[in-house]
Amino acid sequence: MSDDGPMYAQREEAGEAGTPEQGAATGAETPPTHHARRITSFRSRRSTLSGGQQQTWERLWPQIGTEARNAEGHPVVLDPERWFGRQAPLILEIGCGTGVSTSAMAQSEPDLDVIAVEVYKKGLGQLLGVIDRDGIPNIRLVRGDGVDVLEHSLPSASLTGVRVFFPDPWPKARHHKRRLFQTETMALIADRLKPGGILHAATDHQGYAEHIAEVGDAEPRLRRVDTDQQLPISVARPETKYERKALAGPIVTELLWERR
Ligand SMILES: C[S@@+](CC[C@H](N)C(=O)[O-])C[C@H]1O[C@@H](n2cnc3c(N)ncnc32)[C@H](O)[C@@H]1O
């Protein structure tokens, strides 16, 4: 894949309501190329699951994981109540990486349900291993583009929280268009959050922090809040490898907005 990203074709919208098409793992190292977005915030990365990870994947993915798109390229519309087997406030984490924050935060907030989206299969494989080992009941996994999931898999006012920790900063000016946070993404997040719901972003890249602040503050449905306020979801992140790198260098900026 070129550095400028794939030029994905537009595709029709469909999907079966309430049936995350579980077990759709293809073994391919990149998600199916059916994204509406012409430019994506992620790169293609080759990754191979270890033997143990593969076994866990085959056992658990059909139950708690789904591709964002089915084999025909249609978006899978999620039915969280059915998938989790309960009604609970829902959090969407975009770009969970290996899921260090995801698993720790889900365990500390058992009354919330977390859908973690990632394109990187090995990262999801690692998170699946931790879910299995620790018996974490309140995480479900989606493999694909988090913006695609926001746009096509979840309805308006369905989320109590959106978390994006250390999104790729795409530091070169010619790559800024690849950043996850854009005016359109902020509008989409604002629409999918319930009133009072929280967007929590963290980055160690000063320039990207300024950009996220600018596009977030410009979204009229979002109001900036502070970490020390009473919020419906925890904003206490565990330290990840990105955090450790950041502590050795630049400062981590936490950015929080509440849906009006
Ligand atoms: C720098 S890593 C941070 C991982 C994790 N949040 C952490 O704090 O350790 C960024 C991750 O976001 C993922 N990513 C980037 N754009 C994405 C998108 N549109 N949808 C899903 N995942 C995405 C990448 O694959 C990568 O694993």
93 is in an annotated binding site: yes
Please indicate whether residue 180, judged by its CB atom, sits closer than 6 Å to ligand 1: yes
Please tell me whether residue 149 adopts helix, strand or coil conformation: helix
End-to-end, the C-alpha distance of the chain in Å comes to 40
- Atom of ligand 1 at shortest range from CA of 243: 8
Please indicate whether residue 145, judged by its CB atom, sits closer than 6 Å to ligand 1: yes
- Model confidence at 50: pLDDT above 50: yes
In order of their start, the domains of the chain are 68-259 (3.40.50.150)
Please indicate whether residue 188, judged by its CB atom, sits closer than 6 Å to ligand 1: no
pLDDT in tens, 182-219: 999 999 999 999 999 999 999 999 999 999 999 999 99
Model confidence at 12, pLDDT cuts 50, 70, 90, reads very low
Taking the model in full, what pTM does it have?
0.87
Between helix 183-192 and helix 206-217 the angle, nearest 10°, is: 60
Residue 246 has what pLDDT? 61
Average the pLDDT over 61-84 and give the result.
98
Neighbours of 137 (CB within 10 A): 14
16 is in an annotated binding site: no
Could you tell me the distance, in angstroms and rounded to a whole number, from the CA of residue 249 to the centre of ligand 1? 20
Please indicate whether residue 170, judged by its CB atom, sits closer than 6 Å to ligand 1: no
Model confidence at 231, pLDDT cuts 50, 70, 90, reads very high
Contacts of 177 (CB under 8 A, 6+ apart): 39
Please indicate whether residue 124, judged by its CB atom, sits closer than 6 Å to ligand 1: no
pLDDT in tens, 74-99: 999 999 999 999 999 999 999 999 99
Average the pLDDT over 143-162 and give the result.
98
Q: At CA 237, angle to CA 232 and CA 243, rounded to 5?
A: 150
Could you tell me the distance, in angstroms and rounded to a whole number, from the CA of residue 180 to the centre of ligand 1? 9
184 is in an annotated binding site: no
Q: How far apart are CA 192 and CA 203, in angstroms?
A: 22
Average the pLDDT over 34-50 and give the result.
78
Spatial CA neighbour of 233 closest among 86, 83, 106: 106
Q: How far apart are CA 47 and CA 64, in angstroms?
A: 20
Could you tell me the distance, in angstroms and rounded to a whole number, from the CA of residue 64 to the centre of ligand 1? 19
Contacts of 192 (CB under 8 A, 6+ apart): 92, 150, 154, 155, 156, 157, 158, 159, 162
241 is in an annotated binding site: yes
Residue 43 has what pLDDT? 85
Distances (CA, A) of 215 to 58, 112, 139, 212: 40, 27, 29, 5
Q: How far apart are CA 22 and CA 173, in angstroms?
A: 39
Active-site residues, by number, are 168
In the chain, beta strands by DSSP E? 65-67, 90-94, 113-118, 139-143, 159-165, 193-203, 222-224, 253-259
Q: At CA 181, angle to CA 110 and CA 115, rounded to 5?
A: 25
